[in-house]
Structures are given as structure tokens and as C-alpha cells.
Copies of this chain bind each other. A is one copy, B any other.
Amino acid sequence: MGNSLKTDKIPKATVQRMAIYVQVLEELIARKQKVVSSDNLGRECDVNPSQIRKDLAYFGEFGVRGVGYYTQDLLQAISHFLGIDRSWNCALVGVGNLGRALLRHEQLRERGFIIIAAFDCDPFKIGEVVAGHEIVCTRRLKEKRIELKIDIGLIATPPDRAQRAANHLVEAGFKGIVNFAPTRIHVPEDVLVNYIDFTNHIISLAFHITHQKNTPPSATK
């Protein structure tokens, strides 16, 4: 499984739904639920059951007719497929308010995303210890990437420094970047970037509130 699939054909939205299935399956397993139907899984995930069946068909025949899916088996299969049955070493670039929250983010660590080193270019921060990590100068990214076998770079700088952070990560040989700074960054084609932009998500909510009714909620009781 895994690499034998034509994974380049799998839409990003499918991958994001799979991450939700993992989350919900773990909660079901914690509640000792051994089997789940696509209807129930759909309800828990806010996903249409027919969409769930379609998504899970990437794995071949996984459901058992009249029974549903075995939660533990399905969780294992999806985790392997997503590449989260291993841990990933991450480097944080930018130790501001958000960076500090990421360094202490328990669920990231529990999910296997381990921030193993923290970088900043502010000389007043270098050497400071945050959540057990000594902040290191950003110039040492390459050396640390190789020494600590780091896979993923997380950018949590202010927006006007994000491109410079991205350049440092690219020069240091990183092939995967998650950008928390609310700005676009440009990187070579062989480097993958994911954006986590709070603002954009809240905008999308604001849009739906705006158009759902003609008065903003603050004007209603």
C-alpha cells in the first residue's frame, strides 16, 4: 500500500478529510468503539457518507458489507497512507508569540510532529530557552537539519520576514515548509509549502456570516 497508490492523483481536499477521519477514529477507539458505519463516521466528521466511501475506496476494499469499518484497522491504514505512522522532526523558524505556542503545542507532538529545534535571527533571543529548546541562530539551519535529521520547517515569523525565513530553509535543504505567517512565499518547485493562515480561515467564516443574513450578528439579539 502507500507508495504503490497513484497518490499524485489524490486531491488535497481528500487528504485533509483523511486527517479528519484519523482524528475521529482515534476518538471512537478511545470510546472502545470497534466498528463504525460510513453513516456514523460521516456524521462525526461532517462529511457526506458517500464521500467517505469514495475516499476510503483509495485503499481498495476496506469496508465490510452490513458491518462497516473496523476502527483500528481503518485507523492504521489511513495513518500509514498519510505517513503519520512515523514521527517527523520539525524546525521552528521565528520564536515570537505563535512560535512559543507551537513549541508547547501538545497535540502536534502527540501526532508525531516533534519540534526538535527553534531558530530566530534576533540576537536578543538566541540562547534563550523556551519550552526546553535553546533558540539557535537561523544561519545554523543546515547544520542542524543534517545533525538532527529534520524533515519539515515551520515558519512563524512576522509576515515581512517570512520570505527570508523560507530562503534560509530552502538553502538549508528543506523540502517541506509549513508557513504560519499570513503572507505568500516563493520557493523552488521541488519544495512543498502548506499555508496555515488564521486570518484567511476567519475571513471565510466572516464571509458566510455576512451572506447568511443581511444584518451582522452583532446587530441582532
A121-154 vs B, CB cutoff 8 Å, 1 = contact: the mask equals: 0000000000000000000000000100111101
With contact pairs A8-B211, A183-B23 given, residues A203 and B82 touching in the complex (Cβ less than 8 Å): yes
B-side contacts of A97, CB under 8 Å: 100-101, 104-105
Contact of A23 with B194 in the complex, beta carbons under 8 Å: no
B-side contacts of A7, CB under 8 Å: 207, 211
A45 beta carbon closer than 8 Å to chain B: yes
Contact of A108 with B205 in the complex, beta carbons under 8 Å: no
With contact pairs A86-B216, A205-B176, A211-B8 given, residues A199 and B100 touching in the complex (Cβ less than 8 Å): no
Could you say which of A12-20, A31-39, A48-56, A67-75 contacts chain B? A12-20
B-side contacts of A45, CB under 8 Å: 184
What distance in Å separates the Cβ of A197 from its nearest Cβ neighbour in chain B?
A: 8
Contact of A198 with B199 in the complex, beta carbons under 8 Å: no
Question: Chain B CB within 10 Å — which of A15, A180, A196, A199 has the most?
Answer: A199
A194-220 vs B, CB cutoff 8 Å, 1 = contact: the mask equals: 111111111111111111101011110
What distance in Å separates the Cβ of A152 from its nearest Cβ neighbour in chain B?
A: 6
Task: Identify which of B105, B177, B209 contacts A192 (C-beta below 8 A).
Answer: B209
- Beyond known contacts A5-B211, A19-B200, A146-B221: 14 more, CB 8 A cutoff: A3-B211, A23-B184, A82-B210, A83-B209, A83-B210, A97-B100, A98-B105, A102-B198, A106-B158, A107-B198, A111-B203, A152-B202, A152-B205, A175-B209
